[in-house]
Chain A
Amino acid sequence: MRLYTYSLLLLAVILSGCEEEIDYEPSTQNTTPRLVVDAWLTDLPQTQYIYLQQSRSVANADQEPEPITGAEVSLSTGTTEVLLSEPEPGTYATPNDWQGVPGTTYGLYIFWEGATWTAEAYMEPAADFDVVELLPANELASNPDIDLENWWGIRFLTNQFGYEHPSKWDLYRIFPDSLIATHPDSVQEQLRNPQPVVYYTHPSLQTDGLLNFESVDNKLFPSGTVVRQTRYGLSEEHYAYLSAVLAESDWSGGLFDPTPGNVPSNVTNNGLGWFGASGTLTKEQVAGQ
Chain B
Amino acid sequence: MAKAANKLHGWLLVLMTTCWFTGLNAQTGDDLLAKTVHLSATQGTVSQLLGELEAHTGCTFSYGSHVLHPVALVAVSRAEQTLEAHLHDLLKGKPVAFSVTGNRIIFKRSQQHFTISGYLKDADSGEGLIGATIRVAGTAKGSAANQYGYYSLTLVAGSYALEIDYIGYSPTQTTVELTQPIRQDFNLSQDSRQLPELTVTEHARHEALSSLDMGATRMTSREIKALPALLGEPDVLKAIQAQTGIKTVGEGASNFYVRGGNLDQNLMLLDEAPVYNPSHLLGFVSVFNPDAVKSIEAYKAGTPSTYGGRLSSVLDIRMKEGNSKRWRLSGGISPVSSRITVEGPLVKDRSSVILSGRRSFVDLITSTANTGQDVWFHDLTLKANYKLNENNRIFASGYLGDDKFQPNASYAVRWGNTTGTLRWNHLYSQKLFSNLSIITSQYDYNITVPLEAGGDFEWNSGISDFNAKLDFNWYASNNLKVRFGANSIRHQFNLGKSGFLADGATMLEHAAYAEAEQSIGTRLKVRYGLRASGMQNIGAQSVLVLNNDRTIADTAQYSAGETFNTNMGLEPRLALRFMLNETNSLKASYTLNRQYVLMISNSTSSFTAFDLWIPAGENVPAQFAHQYALGWYTSLAKTQLEGSAEVYYKSLHNQIDFVDHAQLIDNPELETQMRVGTGEAYGIELQLRKTIGELTGTASYTYARTFRTFDGINNGRTFAATYDRPHDASLLLTWAHCPKWSFSGFWTYTSGRAVTLPVQLYTYADLTVPVYSERNGERFPAYHRMDVSATLTPKNKKNRRWQGSWTFSVYNAYNRHNTFAINFGRAVRDDGTITDPKFDHVRDNAISRTYLIGVLPSVTYNFKF
Contacts and interface: CB of A to CB of B under 8 A. Distances in A.
Interface of A: 3-4, 6-8, 10-11, 13-15, 17-24, 26-31, 33-34, 36, 38, 40, 53-58, 61-63, 65, 130, 132, 155-157, 160-163, 203-205, 207-208, 210-211, 213-215, 240, 243-250, 252-263, 272-274
B824 interface: yes
A30 B771 CA distance: 10
The 4 closest A-B pairs by CB, nearest first: A261-B660, A204-B666, A253-B823, A249-B767
A87 B757 CA distance: 36
B706 to A, nearest CB: 15
Nearest to B856: A13
Nearest to B822: A24
B251 to A, nearest CB: 9
Given A11-B375, A160-B452, A62 B369 contact: no
Given A213-B410, A254-B821, 12 more contacts: A17-B851, A24-B822, A26-B778, A58-B758, A61-B761, A157-B410, A162-B451, A214-B408, A249-B768, A253-B850, A255-B605, A259-B602
A257 B335 contact: no
B341 to A, nearest CB: 22
Nearest to B768: A249
B365 A207 contact: no
B765 interface: yes
B368 interface: yes
Contacts of B846: 21, 61-62
20 contacts: A8-B369, A15-B407, A18-B854, A21-B826, A21-B846, A24-B757, A30-B760, A58-B770, A62-B845, A63-B845, A157-B450, A215-B410, A246-B767, A253-B848, A255-B282, A255-B607, A258-B603, A259-B604, A261-B772, A274-B764
A30, A207, A274 interface centre (most CB from chain B within 10 Å): A207
A14 B602 contact: no
A179 B261 CA distance: 63
Contacts of A255: 282, 605-607, 609
B459 A256 contact: no
Contact of A7 (B335, B756, B853): B335
B822 A22 contact: yes
B849 A248 contact: no
A55 B762 contact: yes
Interface in B763-815: 763-765, 767-775, 777-778
Contacts of A208: 602-603
B591 interface: no
Nearest to A61: B845
B843 to A, nearest CB: 7
Contacts of B284: 14
Contacts of A252: 821, 823-824
A6 B365 CA distance: 10
B637 interface: no
B362 A10 contact: yes
A243 B335 contact: no
B825 interface: yes
Given A21-B846, A31-B760, A213-B410, A11 B373 contact: yes
Contact of B765 (A6, A38, A253): A38
Contacts of B453: 130, 160, 162-163
A220 B755 CA distance: 43
Given A19-B834, A260-B756, A61 B764 contact: no
Interface string B361-392: 11001101100010100000000000000000
Given A61-B824, A204-B667, A256-B603, A18 B411 contact: no
A262 B771 contact: yes
A257 B609 contact: no
B362 A38 contact: no
A53 B759 contact: no
Given A21-B847, A262-B660, A248 B602 contact: no
Interface string B597-613: 00000111111011000
A22 B848 contact: yes
Nearest to A204: B666
B849 A36 contact: no
Contact of A263 (B368, B602, B769, B852): B769
Contacts of B361: 3, 7
B823 A19 contact: yes
B661 interface: yes
A242 to B, nearest CB: 9
Given A11-B362, A18-B851, A21-B832, A56 B761 contact: yes
Interface string B528-558: 0000000000000000000000000000000
B759 A3 contact: no
Contact of B759 (A30, A205, A244): A30
Contacts of B200: none
B336 interface: yes
B665 interface: yes
B499 to A, nearest CB: 10
A19 B819 CA distance: 9
A243 B664 CA distance: 13
Contacts of B727: none
Nearest to B776: A259
Contacts of B411: 210, 213
A53 B762 contact: yes
A226 to B, nearest CB: 20
Contacts of A58: 757-761, 770, 824, 847
B528 to A, nearest CB: 40
Contacts of A13: 852-854, 856
B760 A15 contact: no
A62 B459 contact: no
Nearest to A203: B666
Given A19-B848, A215-B410, A205 B761 contact: no
Given A21-B848, A272-B771, A207 B335 contact: no
A139 B834 CA distance: 34
Contact of B848 (A3, A20, A204, A262): A20
Interface in B331-382: 335-336, 361-362, 365-366, 368-369, 373, 375
Contacts of A207: 447, 602-603, 609-610, 664-665
A255 B610 CA distance: 11
B449 A262 contact: no
Contact of B665 (A17, A132, A204, A263): A204
B770 A11 contact: no
A3 B335 contact: yes
Contacts of A261: 659-661, 756, 772, 775
Interface string B255-274: 00000000000000000000
Interface string B103-137: 00000000000000000000000000000000000
Nearest to B368: A4
Contact of A249 (B447, B722, B825): B825
B663 interface: yes
Contacts of A63: 845
Nearest to B765: A38
B837 interface: yes
A211 B832 contact: no
A249 to B, nearest CB: 4
B609 to A, nearest CB: 6
Contacts of B375: 11, 14-15
A262 B422 CA distance: 50
Given A17-B851, A26-B778, A272-B762, A205 B767 contact: no
A160 B760 contact: no
Interface in B725-768: 755-765, 767-768
Contacts of B84: none
Contacts of B851: 17-20
B759 A57 contact: yes
A273 B602 contact: no
A55 B825 contact: no
Contacts of B758: 26, 58, 260
A13 B664 CA distance: 28
Nearest to B781: A22
